[in-house]
Amino acid sequence: MEGTDRFTTRNGEVAAKVIDGEAILINLATGMYYSMGDVGGTVWSLIENNSNVEEIIANVAAGYKVEHGRARADVEALLSELLEENLIVVSPSSDTDNAVTAVAASEATSEYAKPSLKKFGDMAEMFALDPPLPGLARGQEASSA
């Protein structure tokens, strides 16, 4: 994984929403659903904003009480897991800079918890037949402050 790699959500196959900092994801093709806590919600929002790996790491390190090296290892592991679950794809190269400005390190007030992807399959068959969240269009990007 390169620091300049950008990722994008699998539009049309993944429905996602960030609610109170937590990302809720549903793979509409498989019916599996996932959740990621506060740090994972931040990472997901940055993916939706087409941030590259370095920008995501910098934002996590600046926004939470965590050392840059640990943020790097944890973010890269989470991105790998999101790729393995087919929730994101590597975005085509782009000359446009959609960088999200990093939070100043002095503003880091949130406690850090290693971002993790929790996977749930207990309702996979039902979700595959009748996708939930009727107000959330397939692939719609949504987040909350």
Q: Annotate 108-145 with DSSP letters as a single string.
A: --BPP-----EEE-TTHHHHHHS-S-TTS-TT------
> To the nearest whole number, what is the mean pLDDT of the chain?
79
pTM of model > 0.85 = no
For the chain, list the strands marked E by DSSP: 7-9, 14-19, 22-27, 33-36, 88-90, 118-120
Report the alpha-carbon distance of residue 118 to residue 24 in Å, rounded. Answer: 10
- The pLDDT of residue 99 is above 60: no
Burial class (CB in 10 A: 0-12, 13-18, 19+), 81: middle
**The tokens of 44 are what?**
């997901």
- The pLDDT of residue 136 is above 50: no
Q: Pick the closest to residue 141 from 7, 12, 5, 4 (CA basis).
A: 12
pLDDT at 118: 94
Domain range annotation of the chain: 7-94+112-129
- The pLDDT of residue 133 is above 60: no
Name the residue with higher pLDDT: 31 or 136: 31
- The pLDDT of residue 84 is above 80: yes
